[in-house]
Structure formats: structure tokens, C-alpha cells
Amino acid sequence: MNNVLKFKNKKANVVAQDEIYNFAYLDENTKRMIRRALIKALCIPGYQVPFSSREMPMPYGWGTGGVQVTSSCLTTDDVLKVIDQGADDTTNAVSIRNFFKKTANIETTETTGDASIIQTRHRIPENQLNEKQILVYQVPIPEPLAFLEPRYQETKKMHALSEYGIMHVKLYEDITKNGHIETAYAYPVKTNDRYIMDPSPIPKFDNPKMNNNPAIQLFGAGREQRIYAIPPYTEVTSLDFEDYPFDPSKAPHKCSICGSNDSFLDEIITDDDGNRSFICSDTNYCNQRMKDK
């Protein structure tokens, strides 16, 4: 690091600590490699493209895949929003936002409508996204067949030949055990009528929002080294049975702050007596509704 500082000093005389990072942390060659993977992923919706994931200054499982995708997409004009389970103010969201503030010196926001790139962990914002936005998902396990077929070679073949019977076996088992499809998050979808895809652990409530969304949706799995994508206006259907159709489902309550009837709710236990209340998981959506009132 000293060498870098000395070298920069010679050239510019003064250098701030933050400028020793390349724009958005990753070096340009890495970003180019990731962009290639992203373009391939966009061309084949739902197909998992391998990429050479880098060590990031955060542990695996904290969004290393999402951060690398965001880093490769960022330009100096971008406005970044980061959410974690819908909230702008939790540790993961705050630290990733600060990370890019520091390494890319870009503007950040908490307002969904103002952001050009939204990195998300496990939610899709309640507000409708537009054509100028990119939604970047953090993905822990990209392979939807992984829990049924542990052999990677075999799942690759199954994707290539669209052998997806086994995916319905999982749903069959769900109905048999519980009387309904119990899977409530990471609910498998079919993208563009071809590839079965794991939508990352978003609640199944969010699944319909992926369908025909005008925004670009990118998925990055850092530890598993996979990137996949849904281009704008692509058909995304949730798997189901004719007699057990897909049901997005939602807690039968209103948000106790803003009163919203149709947003995804978090259940909060409020005291030691087990009293509970339900509030919007999307904090920005909730705050805006309160402001509008």
C-alpha cells in the first residue's frame, strides 16, 4: 500500500486515503470479466453463468456476489440504494452502502424511485421499478436443484435437457406433508419458459413482481461463483400444480405504522407478554406512506 501511495504522491502530490481504491473497489479487468458473464446471463434468462468470483473485504454470505455485480455495473452517475430484508438501515445494508460511498464516491439514496441501482438481500421493493433501474440480488445458493440432486454435473445435465420432474417432486412432498405447498421463500420459478431458477431467498410474496418487470434483474452468488439474470419484461412463472395453484400469500394483517394492506409484513414481538405487531418490511415504502399522509 505504501508503494501505491508513493506512486500516487509523485503524480498528484496529494492523495486522499480513499483514492487508492480503483473505482468501486474491483480492478477493471475483473469488472470486464463480470460484465461478460452478466451479458451472457441476460441473453439466456435464468441460466447460471460461472464466473471467477473474487475475495471481497467481507465474509461469504454477506453479499459478496451482489457486491461484485453492483461494482461492475456502477458508473459515476449512478445512485445506489441497498436494502437488507427490505430495510435500508440494517447492518448489511448500511455497510455495503458505505463501502460503495467510500470506494466509488457515488451518491446513495434510500428512496426506491431515485435509485438507478438497487442491491437487495431477500426482498423486492414494494414500489414498481422502472426501465432505468437495475435490481441486484445477493444469492446464497444459486442451484434450485441442489437440495434434490447434490451432484453438480448431474444438475447441469438436467438444466441442459430441461429434466425438471424432480423439482415437482419437492412440491409434491410439500403438499403430501402439509396439505399445501409449504415452500415460502426461494420458491422455484421458470424463466422465459425454459430454465428453472432459484429467485434467491425472497418471500414467495415477491415472486409475481419478477414477472414482466421493466427493470433489469441480476443475481450474484459469490461463494458459489455463479451469475444469472432476468432481462426486462421477461416471463417468470412460479411452479405449481393445476389443482394446487401458486399462492403468493401474506400475513392477514395491516401495517401497524402506515396501515398498508398490501405490502409484505414483518412480525415484531413487542414485549415480554408475547404481544406482537406487524409492520412493513420495506422501510422506505412505509416511511413514504407516512410522509404522504
Partner 1 sequence: MEPILSVQNLNKYYGDQVGCKNMNMTLYPGEVVGVVGESGSGKTTFINSISGNLNPDRGKILINKDNEIINFLEISESLKRLLIRTELAFVHQNPRDGLRLDVSAGGNISERLMSIGQRNYGKIRQTIFKWLDKVEIDKSRVDDFPRTFSGGMLQRLQIAKNLVTSPKIIFMDEPTGGLDVSVQAKILDLLRKLVRELNLSVVIVSHDLAVIRLLADKIIVMKNGEAVESGLCDQVLDDPQHSYTQLLVSSVLQV
Q: Which of 46, 63, 65, 86 is catalytic?
A: 46
Contact residue for partner 1 among 55, 242, 262, 271 (CB under 8 A): 242
Q: Which stretch, 134-142, 161-169, 208-216, 261-269, contacts partner 1 (CB under 8 A)?
A: 161-169
Site membership for partner 1, residue 39 (CB under 8 A):
no
Contact residue for partner 1 among 19, 58, 79, 163 (CB under 8 A): 163
Distance of CA 13 to the CA centre of its chain: 41
Site membership for partner 1, residue 244 (CB under 8 A):
yes
Site membership for partner 1, residue 166 (CB under 8 A):
yes
- Map residues 78-97 to x or -, x wherever contact with partner 1 holds by CB under 8 A: --------------------
β-sheet bridge partners, residue 25? 22
Exposure string (b/e) for 89-122, b if CB count within 10 Å is 16 or more? eeebbeebbebbeebbebebbbebeebbbbbbbb
Name the strands in the sheet holding 189-191, side by side, starting at the edge strand that comes first in the sequence: 195-197, 189-191, 236-238
Q: How many helices (H) and strands (E) does the chain have?
A: 8, 12
| Number of chain residues interacting with partner 1 (CB under 8 A) | 20
**Residues 41, 35: Cα–Cα separation, whole Å:** 10
DSSP string, 55-99: P-SS-TTSSHHHHHHHHHH--TT-EEEEEETTBSSSHHHHHHHHH
Instruction: 263-268: list long-range contacts, CB under 8 Å, 24+ apart.
Output: 263/126, 264/86, 264/123, 264/126, 264/203, 264/205, 264/206, 266/85, 266/86
73 is catalytic: no
Return the half-sphere exposure (C-beta side, CA atoms, 13 A cut-off) of residue 278: 13
Contact residue for partner 1 among 77, 243, 262, 272 (CB under 8 A): 243
Contact residue for partner 1 among 21, 23, 60, 164 (CB under 8 A): 164
Least distance from partner 1 to the Cβ atom of residue 241, Å: 4
280 is catalytic: yes
Would you say 130 or 178 has its CB closer to partner 1? 178
Q: Which stretch, 75-83, 84-92, 167-175, 269-277, contacts partner 1 (CB under 8 A)?
A: 167-175
Site membership for partner 1, residue 152 (CB under 8 A):
no
Sites for partner 1 among residues 172-191 (CB under 8 A)? 172-173, 175-177
Q: Mind telling me the catalytic residues?
A: 46, 255, 258, 280, 286
Residues that bind partner 1 (CB under 8 A): 148, 157, 160-161, 163-166, 168-169, 172-173, 175-177, 240-244
